[in-house]
């Protein structure tokens, strides 16, 4: 055997004997590519194989065989996650859903779409847009992440401030349980309250309760073309005043994004858009019929807070501004090794958290860029460090822990949209009270009594 491979166990050989040959991948060079997601500084084991089913029936066969052998299973979508939720367990298998990539149905009357989990989220959005509809959740990785992964982490995105997160749009699921049994949850009807809300339970469960093989999502009518403004602030306090004012005014903005000075300069280095050198910038978007009126009110609030405000002249320029926001992480990645955090605080505490992060950056001697969804309090502090330098690596860990702790102290949460995964498994018990944690462990045990699903993820 070569490095980064493990010897097949008798349990694995029993599993593969029961499965179609063409869904079992054991080539070490291929298998190693499925070992981990895009997260940084998270543990990942070495899997013995990748299982790549094409149908619910094949997923069921895979899980039934793995369950009988007590073989660990790590479920993977597109592998774009940032919390280690898809990382493999040593000696287990990776169950990759990339072949389950079909949009099954788009129903414009009921405003529903039915899709397999491997469909790329951006492709689903494009398909429904062609019928005058919108699937609102839009994670930053919308062009590469899968709808199944979005369901697993309850993903969000820039439009959450108006439309909500993935769970707000999932109506029904088909799920294969750890022992291979297939279950359906939810309905296609507008109303349906029979029994417990198991659909809601599975959304955000990060592959620890079962494997989602079919997803029914709610759609909305396509909105008007969005308009955008950019507000530049000379200090963070002024930006915080504007964020609070926009929230208090109850304006129907479809995005309220913030970039600190570090991120702004990094993005401008890539985009060459002349974004300036402000202490912070807000990008605010509105997509309703009265978008112009909404942005006029936002402009007045930002100006009153001391901002310099520029409005996009047309939809094309609006799109360019929001695409610049999507460049935040890629731009910061150019500065060195990086570790991305994902925390959420009350909106009134957004700038206070950014100020704390600036203090932390000074204390540990590292660059930390901050960007995120100011409209719902979800920030992504990105720590830049040198992984080859032990002191720099230790400083990155210290900064990450201090930022996450600060979010909790401000009344926030350890994750707003990326999930707990492996990256924050140790933090979950700090956020949950003892009884809550006990109940969550009990629920997991009911669905996966042999604990084969996504070991090391969450509780």
Region 38-65: what's the mean pLDDT?
96
Q: List all residues 6 or more positions away from 167 whose beta carbon is below 8 Å from its beta carbon.
A: 154, 200, 203, 204
- What are the tens digits of pLDDT across the range 197-217? 999 999 999 999 999 999 999
Q: Specify the pLDDT at position 5.
A: 55
Q: Specify the pLDDT at position 459.
A: 79
Q: Is the pTM of this model over 0.85?
A: yes
- Supply 169's token pair: 């749009």
Q: Specify the pLDDT at position 83.
A: 97
Region 320-329: what's the mean pLDDT?
91
Which pLDDT band holds residue 3 (cuts at 50, 70, 90)? very low
Q: Specify which of 13-22, 116-125, 241-250 reaches the highest per-range mean pLDDT.
A: 116-125
Which pLDDT band holds residue 1 (cuts at 50, 70, 90)? very low
Q: Specify the pLDDT at position 16.
A: 83
- Looking at the chain, the whole-number percentage of residues with pLDDT higher than 70 is 98
* Mean pLDDT of all residues belonging to the chain: 95
- What are the tens digits of pLDDT across the range 60-84? 999 999 999 999 999 999 999 999 9
- What are the tens digits of pLDDT across the range 238-276? 999 999 999 999 999 999 999 999 999 999 999 998 888
Neighbours of 426 (CB within 10 A): 12
Ordered by where they begin, the domains of the chain are 10-96 (3.30.43.10), 103-221 (3.30.465.10), 224-331 (3.30.70.2190), 335-425 (3.30.70.2740)
User: What's the residue count for the chain?
Assistant: 459
Region 28-56: what's the mean pLDDT?
96
Which backbone phi and psi does 365 adopt, to 5 degrees? 75, 30
Q: Taking Cα atoms as reference points, which of 432, 416, 414 lies closest to residue 424?
A: 414
Region 374-393: what's the mean pLDDT?
97
Q: Taking Cα atoms as reference points, which of 120, 97, 115, 102 lies closest to residue 34?
A: 97
Q: What is the rounded distance in angstroms from the CA atom of residue 280 to the CA atom of residue 258?
A: 7
Q: Taking Cα atoms as reference points, which of 42, 37, 41, 47 lies closest to residue 76?
A: 37
Distances in Å between the alpha carbon of 155 and those of 206, 224, 345, 375? 11, 24, 17, 16
Q: What is the rounded distance in angstroms from the CA atom of residue 52 to the CA atom of residue 191?
A: 35
For residue 228, pLDDT over 90 is answered with yes
Region 432-453: what's the mean pLDDT?
97
- Supply 156's token pair: 């969000």
Region 315-326: what's the mean pLDDT?
88
Q: What is the DSSP code string of 230-295?
A: EEEESSHHHHHHHHHHHHHHT---SEEEEEEHHHHHHHHHHH-------SEEEEEEE-STTHHHHH
For residue 414, pLDDT over 60 is answered with yes
Query: CA 417 from chain center: how many Å?
Result: 5
3-state helix, strand, coil in the chain (%, to 5): 40, 20, 40
Alpha-carbon Rg of the chain, whole angstroms? 22
Q: Specify the pLDDT at position 7.
A: 64
Which pLDDT band holds residue 4 (cuts at 50, 70, 90)? low
Q: Specify the pLDDT at position 8.
A: 66
Neighbours of 286 (CB within 10 A): 28
């Amino acid at each position: 055997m070569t490095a980064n491979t493990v010897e097949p166990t008798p349990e694995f050989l029993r599993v593969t004997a029961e499965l179609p040959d063409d869904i079992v991948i054991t080539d070490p060079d291929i298998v190693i590519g499925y070992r981990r997601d895009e997260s940084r500084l998270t543990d990942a084991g070495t899997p013995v194989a990748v299982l790549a089913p094409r149908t619910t029936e094949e997923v069921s066969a895979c899980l039934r065989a793995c369950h009988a052998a007590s073989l660990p299973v790590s479920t993977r979508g597109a592998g774009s996650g940032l919390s280690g939720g898809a990382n493999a367990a040593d000696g287990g298998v990776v169950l990759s859903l990339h072949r389950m990539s079909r949009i099954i149905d788009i129903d414009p009357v009921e405003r529903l779409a039915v899709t397999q989990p491997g469909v790329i989220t951006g492709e689903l959005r494009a398909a429904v847009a062609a019928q005058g509809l919108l699937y609102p959740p839009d994670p930053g990785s919308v062009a590469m992440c899968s709808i199944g992964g979005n369901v697993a982490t309850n993903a969000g995105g820039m439009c959450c401030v108006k439309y909500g997160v993935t769970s707000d749009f999932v109506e029904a699921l088909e799920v294969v349980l750890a022992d291979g049994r297939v279950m359906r949850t939810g309905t296609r009807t507008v109303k349906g309250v029979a029994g417990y809300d198991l659909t809601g339970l599975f959304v955000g469960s990060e592959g620890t309760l079962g494997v989602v093989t079919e997803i029914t999502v709610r759609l909305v009518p396509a909105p008007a073309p969005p308009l955008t403004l950019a507000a530049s602030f000379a200090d963070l306090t002024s930006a915080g005043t504007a964020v609070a004012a926009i929230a208090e005014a109850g304006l129907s903005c479809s995005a309220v994004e913030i970039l600190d000075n570090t991120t702004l300069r990094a993005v401008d280095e890539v985009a060459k858009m002349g974004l300036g050198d402000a202490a912070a910038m807000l990008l605010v978007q509105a997509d309703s019929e009265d978008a112009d009126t909404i942005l006029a009110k936002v402009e007045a609030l930002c100006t009153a807070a001391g901002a310099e405000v520029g409005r996009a002249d047309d939809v094309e320029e609006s799109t360019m501004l929001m695409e610049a926001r999507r460049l935040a992480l890629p731009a910061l990645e150019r500065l060195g090794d990086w570790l991305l955090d994902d925390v959420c605080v009350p909106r009134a505490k957004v700038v206070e958290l950014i100020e704390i992060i600036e203090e932390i950056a000074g204390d540990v001697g590292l660059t930390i860029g901050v960007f995120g969804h100011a409209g719902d309090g979800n920030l992504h502090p990105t720590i830049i460090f040198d992984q080859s330098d032990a002191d720099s690596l230790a400083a990155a860990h210290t900064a990450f822990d201090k930022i996450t702790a600060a979010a909790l102290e401000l009344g926030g949460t350890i994750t707003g949209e990326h999930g707990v995964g492996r990256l924050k498994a140790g933090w979950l018990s700090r956020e949950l009270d003892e009884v809550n944690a006990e109940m969550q462990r009990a629920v997991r045990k009911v669905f996966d009594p042999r604990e084969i699903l996504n070991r090391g993820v969450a509780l």
